[in-house]
Structure 1
């Protein structure tokens, strides 16, 4: 699961280890295990597309690059396993190793080793209690055990309280311990002591920020803003949707590339993470309509989303119930955050956008089930909605929080030109990718297919040229929308443009249904700065 390595690396500045000096009684190189860029790879179980990446004989450089990546990835895993085996009885080193492996998202390669360590730690704490005096070790053991489902009491933290029942003030000197305590507090199931731990550690860590250098402060701030238990990688893994929906795409790296392109501002890390959640569900729900459900089930699913009624899902398959529950949770979570930060509850707008998307998916499902090929114009009007762009940009509008007024909310809700232009560009590009020849199966339908049905005698090549011309016209319309006096913020306008810019990378499939352009883009983002970083380390 190499994608989570990316999330972690983008959250934490990449700096040489010797940048971290001693703070109190801790060393920052021990606090945050920094990912090695060479370990980033497109792992075979989380490819960018639905099938494993294959070597393209027409692109030897890309093929050799991919092969080298896989070989180096495998070698690194062997090295980590060897290091793990050498840790022996050192409980602290073993737990820190587990933490690093989980943050890198490669823990599925070490399930037996991790289970053996955690079982031993659980037995130790169950039989002897947790009498260690090191706050970081106790907090780390508690977090690792609880997040893996072990029943461990939070009162192990009572050892760090004074006679008055308050956390000891001398802990303020232990930055690493406070970070561990804050991370542990995120696994609360309602215990008062964990609430106290979270408040106490947060207060002291925030207070210490002004006394740390830039790099040290960035690490502490990252912990406060993005604790591991609530990170995107952990969120996606814990959802379990890919286990329940075996037919659905599992492409978290690709999904995260969208918000990276839409809002590249480094200050908007939290918004990127939140935006990835609805994007992932667009893909999942699309697969439910394309592959997973019967027409009757899809009709009931759509009706339930329109009413936003959990009870309406009683007769539906378990995976549909699970999907809607996730959709409801994400919608409520994002609405709560927006309301807290921008004093506007967007839940009505978000639900309306999801309902429109499902309605459009259902229209396409009915067309396919009946064998009906719609008029090209009718197809495109519905296809712009089923592209999912409206859902993404409605979420973006509220997450950015700029210019939230009733007038602007009504404008965004109603699929304005700046959104419909972008959506149409995506839909037409997608159709070009899925209609490369006359032998396409047509399961998803395409504008080319509808055009050929409507214009007998026209060639595929001619239809594709018309689509390319339409994309050009849509770009002109989008440019005009961005230049016109616009009540919506510049950040939102740029986000719409960036979706359109990203589309060619996301939908230019090769003959093996891979995305070499996207892989090259990722390579440039994640790897091509290596010489610079290595030079930095030499000079430090």
Structure 2
């Protein structure tokens, strides 16, 4: 391959974590003691949860605390069983709608039910409106109530006008409210305005909430100690997993073999951690993080390295799933091809051994679809073609890469992700499409300026501007509305009854949350300094106990 070949190279920022493992404390002294303490505290917390059932409203507040402190996964079955009872209980439903149940409490109840897939009616908020149909002015004095309303309003679905109004009302006042709140509440409001709890990565939300909760007057010391120990014990496991992923990257000699890609080992692991943090998904996190490193290399190869002729050869080989990389492509592309095909073939073998025949076929198919989406964009760039927005949107579902990524997150969910789950995912269910739209368009909005500094295919914003003859600002607003609508679709698909096990739907939700954190304000995956504080708080610093 002669140096005269023109390549659309990108000036990607360097990796800022040469070896994050050197930042970790090597000491695991006292881990056994902490495990014993953890076990003892878990029993005490369970006892508190059980005794809170005597008052269903206090019980839901307790569930909310368990969720936000990151320990609800220990009591999931009991929580769902209790919510089921309360949801169907006439007395409970009447109490929530009575005047005595304040805005803060109703907001929490609404959030908790919807979080677990119970579609509590929006009429619980009617009593907070005046005779003109507006939210009552005096509510603004209630900082906790307004924050609770704002968080609840994130769970809206289509046609819920009162939720849209609640979101606008609470959002318009919260910045001012934070300026007259106690310092720790002000920080929480600021964090919520940046990333509401529903759209945040759960480990980040947990880390922030622990710091907030322990300063609250109502703090339960047993619960907060349990949450801290649980966080630190999980952190040890997460560090081991990152070490596995880092080792794989070094052993593959990835850095020297593919010099033009974004080397984002730690960020890829954070993406995976955002998808599932619980201990039973340890192997799943490692596999997903490695897949994300491969997907990044593929994305950058199509976007910022290969010529159309080389990429066509590559895509054709992948479409046929040839065991060897095609001729006529550079060594770096051959390396990416072999690394990807070998990774998928090995995974396919493992799935076959587990009796999950056919799942590997769907994993490969999802990757081939993504490659076809990338290929289409490369052809558009070569022709200097600006697609119509409709054409772009159809291809964006593929080029988001989220079909391949969602499928990969299912791969190690052995108990629930059988062949029927992969078949369902391949049928373009609404929740998958919503997540793909959130992924593609949120990224398009945040990375617009960076992409325009180099040779790059027209983004969704360019296509919208061209098709509708509007300014960049109007196009950005329109795409923001498309993303908001996709979140409403996603919220609706999380409501019961579920066609497939809830843990599978949670992967799609969590992957959408990662996008909100990584891309809402800037492309933080490409510019990793924007994720640094999260990596430090989740993987490097332990919580003092």
Question: How far apart are 1:400 and its partner, in Å?
Answer: 0.7
Question: How far apart are 1:459 and its partner, in Å?
Answer: 1.5
CA deviations on 1:113-139 (whole Å, 9 max, x unpaired) are: xxxxxxxxxxxxxxxxxxxxxxxxxxx
Verify: 1:414 aligned to 2:427, yes or no: yes
Q: Which has the higher contact order (CA 8 A, sep 6+)?
A: 2
Question: How far apart are 1:398 and its partner, in Å?
Answer: 2.4
Decide whether aligned partners of structure 1 residues 7 and 276 sit closer, same or farther in structure 2, where only a CA change above 3 A counts.
Answer: farther
Question: How far apart are 1:312 and its partner, in Å?
Answer: 5.6
Q: Tell whether the 8 Å contact from 1:509 to 1:515 is kept in structure 2 after alignment.
A: no
Structure 2: distance between partners of 1:497 and 1:447: 23
Q: Tell whether the 8 Å contact from 2:241 to 2:282 is kept in structure 1 after alignment.
A: no
- Equivalence for 1:299: 312
Which one of the candidate residues 506, 518, 522 is aligned to 2:535?
Answer: 522
Decide whether aligned partners of structure 1 residues 405 and 399 sit closer, same or farther in structure 2, where only a CA change above 3 A counts.
Answer: closer
Question: How far apart are 1:506 and its partner, in Å?
Answer: 1.3
- Equivalence for 2:445: 432
- Equivalence for 1:502: 514
Q: TM-score, normalised by structure 1?
A: 0.55
- Equivalence for 1:329: 342
- Equivalence for 1:397: 410
Decide whether aligned partners of structure 1 residues 375 and 327 sit closer, same or farther in structure 2, where only a CA change above 3 A counts.
Answer: same
Q: Tell whether the 8 Å contact from 1:249 to 1:287 is kept in structure 2 after alignment.
A: yes
- Equivalence for 1:313: 326
Structure 2: distance between partners of 1:325 and 1:466: 41
Unaligned stretches of 5+ residues in structure 2? 1-15, 35-228
Question: How far apart are 1:338 and its partner, in Å?
Answer: 2.9
Question: How far apart are 1:285 and its partner, in Å?
Answer: 0.5
SS class of match (1:231): helix
CA deviations on 1:428-471 (whole Å, 9 max, x unpaired) are: 11000122599665614211110111122x21111111111111
CA deviations on 1:307-362 (whole Å, 9 max, x unpaired) are: 01134613322122211111111112222333334543522112111111111100
Which one of the candidate residues 456, 460, 464 is aligned to 1:451?
Answer: 464
SS class of match (2:387): coil
- Equivalence for 2:477: 465
Question: How far apart are 1:235 and its partner, in Å?
Answer: 0.6
- Equivalence for 1:385: 398
Question: How far apart are 1:493 and its partner, in Å?
Answer: 1.0
Question: How far apart are 1:375 and its partner, in Å?
Answer: 0.8
Decide whether aligned partners of structure 1 residues 438 and 274 sit closer, same or farther in structure 2, where only a CA change above 3 A counts.
Answer: closer
1:470-481 maps to which residues of 2 (within 5 A)? Answer: 470-481=482-493
CA deviations on 1:378-419 (whole Å, 9 max, x unpaired) are: 112211211111111111122112434443331112332221
Between the two proteins, the alignment pairs up a number of residues equal to: 332
Q: Tell whether the 8 Å contact from 2:363 to 2:404 is kept in structure 1 after alignment.
A: yes
Q: TM-score, normalised by structure 2?
A: 0.55
Structure 2: distance between partners of 1:297 and 1:276: 27
Verify: 1:290 aligned to 2:303, yes or no: yes
Q: Tell whether the 8 Å contact from 1:302 to 1:358 is kept in structure 2 after alignment.
A: yes
Structure 2: distance between partners of 1:247 and 1:400: 33
Decide whether aligned partners of structure 1 residues 468 and 442 sit closer, same or farther in structure 2, where only a CA change above 3 A counts.
Answer: farther
Question: How far apart are 1:231 and its partner, in Å?
Answer: 2.3
Structure 1: distance between partners of 2:251 and 2:294: 14
Decide whether aligned partners of structure 1 residues 6 and 393 sit closer, same or farther in structure 2, where only a CA change above 3 A counts.
Answer: farther
1:32-181 maps to which residues of 2 (within 5 A)? Answer: none
SS class of match (2:259): coil
Question: How far apart are 1:267 and its partner, in Å?
Answer: 2.5
Verify: 1:354 aligned to 2:372, yes or no: no
Unaligned stretches of 5+ residues in structure 1? 21-213
Verify: 1:492 aligned to 2:504, yes or no: yes
CA root-mean-square deviation: 3.6
SS class of match (2:328): coil
